[in-house]
């Protein structure tokens, strides 16, 4: 038990494992589908939280909190690619499997994408923070899919896992404003961030259709 408790405090320093590549960040907005995921299969990708179910082949599984991990221990334990998280619980229980990173910085302030060993820029959500993780992994271009940042047809996610009343104003009040300055900061380190989510409420980054990106 002492060894396990010690391991949960270990941090992994992100390395430029995918230097110069395009990395697709797959958030779990309602627009994300199995068909869309299949179109980018074979490319570097980060499956964020439950988008992992639609893209079990993704290069990276990323989640920030233990609350998401605890009911999905088997999914995480059996993940074939990299598992990167901020969860102490996941690190403690799967110390050799989970690479734990530290998030720092004010999600509402202008970000900085070079914050020292094992540290990445903290975002307002897992999908938000995944952008800085992709940059830390060496991406030259980051493409956002499933970043609707709004309810679509009464749906908030591409899955039905979250039950009960939801705060429908949180996107415009917190999540979308939290991205302010991220395009400028990414460009400053030579990274092009592209939003390929049709109908996205997130306007911080330039938009391009997936068709155009594949051409």
pLDDT, tens only, 156-202:
665 565 554 566 777 777 888 889 999 999 999 999 999 999 999 99
Spatial strand order of the sheet with 141-145 comes to 98-100, 82-85, 60-63, 44-48, 22-26, 141-145, 192-195, 206-207
**Mean pLDDT to the nearest integer, 101-107:** 79
The owner of tokens 């903290």 is 122
Handedness of CA 32, 157, 63, 2 (dihedral sign): negative
User: Where does the chain show beta strands of DSSP type E?
Assistant: 22-26, 44-48, 60-63, 82-85, 98-100, 102-104, 119-121, 141-145, 192-195, 206-207
The residue whose two tokens read 């202008």 is: 110
Cβ(103)–Cβ(128) below 8 Å: no
DSSP category for residue 110: P
More confident residue, 150 or 110: 150
pTM for this prediction: 0.89
**pLDDT tens, 1-23?**
455 567 898 999 999 999 999 99
pLDDT at 74 over 90: yes
pLDDT value of position 158? 54
Strands 141-145 and 60-63: unpaired
Name the pLDDT band for 124 (thresholds 50, 70, 90). Answer: confident
**Whole-number average pLDDT of the chain:** 88
pLDDT score at 108 = 55
Per the listing, tokens 């980060």 go with: 46
| Dihedral sign (CA 31, 122, 93, 138) | positive
pLDDT tens column, 21-34: 999 999 999 999 99
Query: Residue 153: what pLDDT?
Result: 67
Q: State the pLDDT at residue 149.
A: 87
Q: CA 21, CA 157: separation in Å to the nearest integer?
A: 28
């Amino acid at each position: 038990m002492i060894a396990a408790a010690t391991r949960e405090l270990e941090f992994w320093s992100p390395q430029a494992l995918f230097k110069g590549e395009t990395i697709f960040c797959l958030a779990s907005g309602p627009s994300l589908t199995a068909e869309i995921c299949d179109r980018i299969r074979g490319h570097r990708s980060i499956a964020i939280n439950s988008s992992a179910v639609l893209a079990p082949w993704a290069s990276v599984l990323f989640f920030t909190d233990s609350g998401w991990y605890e009911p999905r221990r088997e999914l995480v334990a059996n993940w074939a690619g990299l598992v990167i998280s901020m969860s102490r619980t996941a690190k403690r229980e799967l110390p050799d499997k989970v690479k734990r990173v530290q998030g720092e910085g004010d999600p509402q302030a202008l970000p900085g994408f070079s914050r020292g060993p094992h540290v990445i820029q903290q975002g307002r959500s897992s999908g938000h923070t995944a952008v800085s993780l992709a940059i830390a992994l060496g991406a030259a271009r980051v493409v956002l899919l499933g970043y609707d940042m709004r309810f679509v047809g009464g749906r908030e996610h591409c899955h039905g896992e979250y039950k009960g009343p939801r705060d429908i104003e949180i996107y415009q009040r917190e999540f979308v404003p939290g991205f302010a300055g991220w395009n400028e900061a990414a460009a400053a380190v030579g990274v092009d961030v592209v939003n390929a989510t049709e109908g996205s409420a997130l306007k911080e980054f330039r938009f391009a259709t997936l068709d155009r990106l594949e051409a």
